[in-house]
Structure 1
Amino acid sequence: MSTLLPTHWSDTGSDDFLDNHPFDEIQVGDSASLVRAVTNRDIQLFAAVSGDVNPAHVDALYAKSSRFHGIIAHGMLGASLISTLLGTRFPGPGTIYLGQTLKFHAPVHIGDTLTITVTVKTRDAAHHRLLLDARCSNQDGVDVITGEAEVMAPTEKLRIRRTDLPEALLADKNLRYDQLLAAASAYKPIRMGVVHPCSTEALTGAVDAARLGLIEAVLIGPVAKIRSLAEAHQLDLSGLEVVDVPHSHAAAAKAVAMVRAGELAALMKGSLHSDELLSQVVNAQTGLRTGRRMSHVFVLDVPRYPKPLLITDAAINVSPDFDAKVDIVQNAIDLAHALGVPCPKVAVLSAVETVTAKLRSAMDAAALSKMADRGQITGGLVDGPLAFDNAVSMAAAQTKGIRSEVAGDADILVVPDLESGNMLAKQLEYLGDAQAAGIVMGASVPIVLTSRADSAHSRIASCAIAVLCAADRSKASS
């Protein structure tokens, strides 16, 4: 082999197999390379596996203010590509990595295209060892990493089927949350009554939402209990108004009265039962009724779904009749508009995607779709009946031959009843790792109807949604 000219080795086999280059085929000067574009996903995966969460790599706000003016890749992420080249291409399978020296010359930014090249410098025939020059350069030809790698090369020709790796699912739990807060921050904070905030989560959510400038929090409940809770958890209530009432029932009544008096623009449930608050809200004489049925809408960020997913009604209307479903659909469409979806796609769910008199939900879905076609429900595309799978999966919809602008791409899922909706939403949250927020539509003001198990994070997101709803209503009335 010593009489051969240096060779630049490249892949010539199938993508399904890894082919190596035994020691006897390799001479000094031989080289190989691979090209890889660096994505934010690469950086996040490397951080997750290594535990290296240096803010220069994962915190966009910090990174923007750093000397690099943006997120940069870990140095060892680039270095790992040298190992990739040695272990999978040249020399390839059977190679044993013995050592490496590295120098880092320049940062690697998201979107950079790296070319990794290794070149044989010396051969040790007695031990089948190779010393290789290793370098990593960017799309501008600038070396970002240089060094040497020492390996023991394979002695036998190998062809091994490439292993299929499991799909790595990355859920950026802050992305849509940050987008939601950014959208809400474009508007002035709304004056929100927080009803009986006598749990840690309820009080923390209200205080944090106020500190973020989303709301002007008015805490309505037993003042001694609220202040004691704040002191125990080091929550600063300075600048927040506290309305003293003796108990949760009085807090609900007072909050509704303050809305009717024009003192509050929204409500948020604290640590009282939903029924206790809603009984005051729906009171025919003293409540917050409008001409439309009230309904609840969950807003979910589901990791495997490409956009926010709204589910309704899973909290208020137990077994809604057809007229109630008309309002439920329209409420959800109005919320989607407030969230910036100009023409939401509404999937009315049933157990099947065919119209059948055997299922009331299927008949209701068909009628709701026809009402939307005739302009009796406005602002969105409504289709049904659709089963859950073909409402959210384009592949499932195509397999079943469904022709629909909604199927496989729904923004809103309208469930048959509260039981099915609540189970669906909670399954997505607890088994699908979805981030949940929620709001009541159809009242004279937005109402954040949180669960007692909701985190402060969820309560803040729900406050942001209320801000956007209030802003949308203001635009509509002006």
Structure 2
Amino acid sequence: MTIYANTPWNDLTIGMEASVTRLCVADDLIIFANSSGNMNPLHIPDADGDGDGVPEAIAPSAWLGALISGVLGNRLPGPGTLYKSQSLSFHGRARAGEELTARVRLTALGPDREATFDTWIEAADGTTLASGEAKVTAPVAPQSFSAEDVPGLTVRSHVHFDRLIARAEHLPPIPTAVVAPESPEAIAGALLGRDHTLITPILVGNAALIETAAHEAGVSIAGLELIDEPDHDRAARRAVALVHEGRARAVMKGHLHTDVLLRAIVKREGGLRTGRRLSHVFVMDIPGIDHLVLVTDAAINIAPDLTTKIDIVQNAIDLALALGIDQPKAGILSAVETVNPAIPSTLDAAALSKMAERGQITGGLVDGPLAMDNAVDLEAAVTKGIKSLVAGHADILVAPNLESGNMIAKQLTFLAHAEAGGIVVGASVPVILTSRADDEAARLASCAVAALYGAKLP
């Protein structure tokens, strides 16, 4: 807990100094842009403000001045201080990633509790970036303030997806049979993956509708292979055949019903079955969470039994490993964190945990039953006395059934502002399931996930 205490007027003496050192991070620039309305791209991380092809991420000069305000308001004189004036001259620039120190020195005391300070900002090497003078009205009485009384902020950026996409862009694009991309959203999503060198689309569907959709989306399909198959059932089967022919190493859903696509994939003869049950995994980038979160199964297995859940957990662990998560931690969710024979999902969770201990599920840590709070929040786990390497640190959330999994994923998307990509795993190739509600970031992330997962398959 950080407590800020002031120095009242009667205790101020000429020559007193105070300083604050902090690291300028990209989120500082985003927050300042939103709070000030200054959207100058020179100050926006990852934006190119001068057209030279290189992002600048220059800290706004007014943001530097705000650091001085922080010293005066928190340190000297501290809580209860009010600004009267501030002059500043700027001698250099700061950028995201640099450490800065704001300093103040008391130079004069005047009538009506007026205190005058020299103010300046230094870079880590001691270079002065800004200097000036501030006049404030100092507080008359002792006062302290807890930083915990101020609400926190969460920046809605999706850095984890950015890293996934950057990793996948270094791989050869994965040849992908895109089934019935006959809407503007579907064809644009496929071409977005192509433009980022994640996939090489092979378009399978009604050629006339695909060409119309491309025109409406304002994209060109010139140079792409287009297989004209107006019937969705036959288009799905043709996409599966492309995999068997070695021409495609992934399948992507376009503008058709999911069950039509999956029916072709799970056929015993000519499908893409392996020895495992298919399951869907949402890969979620949640603002404020310092790691990816995988949610499964929210799209395919309605009421999975224990045998199916074994495959669901193993599929998710394998995907997490392909995404670069070392020793994934899978939390098996239920309504409670203790085994209760009246709640079948707690029995399944306990069995899955023991199976992982015995090596029947490999590649990660598995624990359950866990309630949602103690799966993702360490303080909640400690409060309930749960001793586990998974509790509070879960990378994978395994839902008891499809309804609960779908609710978790939708709540994280629409209430926590998460971006959600995802694929079907357990087939011989990754299957990209997109939704009409997916935005460009979600479609691109799904292509990146498929590329990274596909690179790990035999």
1:53 lines up with 2:39 in the alignment: yes
2:191 to 207, 215, 224: 207
The whole-number CA distance in structure 1 between the counterparts of 2:333 and 2:271 is 31
Give yes or no for the alignment of 1:35 onto 2:6.
no
In structure 1, which of residues 228, 234, 244 is the aligned counterpart of residue 212 of structure 2? 228
CA distance in 1, matches of 2:285, 2:201: 26
Match for 1:312 among 296, 310, 317? 296
Aligned positions of 1:253-292 closer than 5 A: 253-292=237-276
Displacement, 1:400? 1.7
SS in 2 for 1:341: coil
Corresponding residue of 1:83: 69
TM-aligned CA distance change 1:113 to 1:228, over 3 Å: same
* Structure 2 CA distance for partners of 1:88 and 1:319, relative to 1, 3 Å: closer
Q: Partner amino acid for 2:319?
A: L
Select the residue among 117, 133, 152 that pairs with 2:104: 117
- The equivalences for 1:158-169 within 5 A come to 158-159=142-143, 161=145, 164-169=149-154
1:363-420 CA distances to partner (integer Å, 9 max, x unpaired)? 1122222222222222122222222222112112222222222111112121111111
Could you tell which deviates more after superposition, 399-408 or 459-468? 399-408
Q: 1:357 matched to which residue of 2?
A: 341
Following the alignment from structure 2 to structure 1, what is the Cα–Cα distance between the partners of residues 353 and 77?
62
1:7 match: none
SS of the residue corresponding to residue 187 of structure 1 reads coil
* CA RMSD across the alignment: 2.6
Task: Give the letter for the 2:64 counterpart.
Answer: G
The alpha-carbon distance between structure 1 residues 293 and 161, as it changes in their structure 2 partners (threshold 3 A), is: closer
Cα pair 1:64 1:71 within 8 Å, conserved: no
Separation (CA, whole Å) in 2 of partners of 1:152 and 1:425: 51
Aligned residue number for residue 130 of structure 2:
145
Query: What are structure 1's unaligned runs of at least 5 residues?
Result: 1-13
Given the superposition, is the C-alpha separation of residues 320 and 159 from structure 1 closer, same or farther in structure 2, using an over 3 Å criterion? closer
User: Retained in 2: the 8 A contact 1:118–1:135?
Assistant: no
Question: Matched residues in 2 for 1:44 and 1:221: separation?
Answer: 43
Quickly say closer, same or farther: Cα 1:43–1:385, change in 2 above 3 A: same
Deviation string, structure 1 residues 335-365 (Cα, Å, up to 9, x no partner): 1111112321121122222223222211112
Q: Which whole-Å CA distance do the structure 2 matches of 1:227 and 1:67 have between them? A: 33
2:90 aligned partner: 104
Identity %: 45
Query: Post-superposition shift, 1:79?
Result: 0.8
Q: Structure 1 residues 94 and 397, CA, compared in 2 at 3 Å: closer, same or farther?
A: closer
Cα shift at 1:196: 1.1
Task: Report the counterpart of residue 370 of structure 1 in structure 2.
Answer: 354
Q: Is the 8 A contact 2:117 2:134 kept in 1?
A: yes
Once the 2 structures are TM-superposed, how far is the Cα of residue 178 of structure 1 from its aligned partner?
Answer: 1.4
1:237 Cα deviation after fit? 1.7
Partner in structure 2 of residue 430 of structure 1:
414
| Partners of 2:146 and 2:387 in 1: CA distance | 38
Residue 393 (str. 1) matches residue 377 (str. 2):
yes
1:307-361: CA deviation from partner (whole Å, max 9, x where unpaired): 1111111111111122111111111111111111232112112222222322221
1:451 corresponds to which of 430, 435, 438: 435
Partner residue of 1:135 out of 117, 120, 123: 120
CA distance in 1, matches of 2:382, 2:132: 52
Aligned residue type for 2:61: G
Residue among 232, 242, 250 paired with 2:234: 250
Residues 424-457 of structure 1: per-residue CA shift (max 9 Å, x gap): 1111111111110111111121100122211122
Q: Distance in 1 between matches of 2:445 and 2:377?
A: 26
Deviation at 1:271, TM superposition (A): 1.5
Cα deviation for residue 91 of structure 1 reads 4.4
- Maintained 8 Å contact 1:202/1:456: no
Gap change, CA 1:39 and 1:352, over 3 Å in 2: same
For the structure 1 residues 436 and 64, does the alpha-carbon distance in structure 2 shift closer, same or farther, using more than 3 Å as the test? farther
**Aligned partner of 2:91: which letter?**
H
CA contact (8 A) 1:35 1:115 kept: yes
TM (norm. structure 2) is 0.91
**SS in structure 2 at match of 1:37:** strand
TM-score (norm 1): 0.87
User: One-letter code of the match for 1:195?
Assistant: V
Contact 2:177 2:248 survives alignment (8 Å): yes
**In the alignment, which residue of structure 2 is the partner of 1:6?**
none
Q: What CA distance in whole angstroms lies between the structure 2 residues aligned with 1:427 and 1:206?
A: 26
- Of 308, 314, 337, the match for 1:330: 314
Whether the 8 Å CA contact 2:22–2:99 is kept in 1: the answer is yes
Any idea what SS the aligned residue of 2:449 has?
helix
* Bigger radius of gyration: 1
Structure 1 pair 83/274, CA: closer, same or farther in 2 (3 Å)?
Answer: same
**Letter aligned with residue 115 of structure 1:** A
Distance in structure 1 (CA, Å) of the matches to 2:329 and 2:79: 50
**CA contact 1:119–1:134 (8 Å) conserved in 2:** no
Instruction: Determine if contact 2:376/2:391 at 8 Å carries over to the other structure.
Output: yes
Aligned equivalent of 1:19: 6
Counterpart secondary structure, 2:88 = strand
Q: Give 1:84 deviation, angstroms.
A: 2.9
